[in-house]
Structure 1
Amino acid sequence: MQQDKQPSYHPVVFRDRAAGYAFLTRSTAQSQQTIEWDDGHTYPVIDVEISSESHPFYTGRARIYTGRARTVDAEGRVARFERRYGRAESGEAT
């Protein structure tokens, strides 16, 4: 394998500005900005718009088109279904 063909794979800090969260991983991404990490070493830092700390799928919050945030939970959906269609207490359908 030719040595000059592969990109440099090195430690990089990804920082989610929206959530105030940063994590250290390995990547081929390049950056001129650096940050001093908890271990005392200096690493390149990449600012990202969204990560697992701020993504709606991982946080349980979803954006709707009105700009308001709503919480996605299965228990609330069941309760709403039972309110809407009723739950037969005596065994008969309503």
Structure 2
Amino acid sequence: MKPTVHPAYRPVVFRDKAGGLAFLTRSTLTSSRTVEWEDGRSYPVVDVEVSSASHPFHTGKSRVLDTAGRVELFERRYGTTK
């Protein structure tokens, strides 16, 4: 890769705010905040909202949607066609 064309590719810690999972990987993202990793070195940290530790698909904790309530709301708004 050309150094003047591509952004710097460096180690970054991604931390899930909801699940408590943190993992070290390489990325072009930057951050002004740092965290000390298990190896004793300091790396930039990027906080994410959802990862495999907190996503309902991966954890098996899916939400039940109230579909009957949605149908009734639609019928109240737009009426029924009979």
Matched with 2:26 is 26
Computed over aligned residues only, the root mean square deviation of the Cα atoms, in angstroms, reads 1.4
Name 1:16's counterpart in structure 2: 16
2:72 matched to which residue of 1?
none
Measured in 2, the distance between the counterparts of 1:32 and 1:64 equals: 39
Q: What is the DSSP-based 3-state SS (H/G/I as helix, E as strand, rest coil) of the residue aligned with 1:12? A: strand
CA–CA separation in structure 2 for the residues paired with 1:7 and 1:43: 17
* Structure 1 residue ranges without an equivalent (≥5): 67-94
Q: TM-score, normalised by structure 2?
A: 0.73
Alignment of 1:11-90 (within 5 A): 11-65=11-65
Task: Give the distance between the partners of 1:34 and 1:12, measured in 2 at CA.
Answer: 9
- Which segments of 5 or more consecutive residues in structure 2 lack a partner in the other structure? 67-82
Query: What residue identity is the alignment partner of 2:12?
Result: V
Secondary structure, counterpart of 1:62 in structure 2: coil
Shift of 1:65: 3.8
User: Which amino acid letter does the alignment assign opposite residue 43 of structure 2?
Assistant: Y
How many residue pairs get aligned? The number is 66
Q: Relative contact order (alpha carbons < 8 A, sep ≥ 6): 1 or 2 greater?
A: 2
Counting aligned pairs with the same residue, the percent is: 59
Runs of 4+ in 1 over 3 A off after TM superposition: none
How far apart, in 1, do the equivalents of 2:27 and 2:34 lie?
A: 14
Tell me what 1:80 maps to.
none
Could you tell me which residue of structure 2 aligns to residue 4 of structure 1? 4
Query: CA separation in 2, counterparts of 1:3 and 1:38?
Result: 30
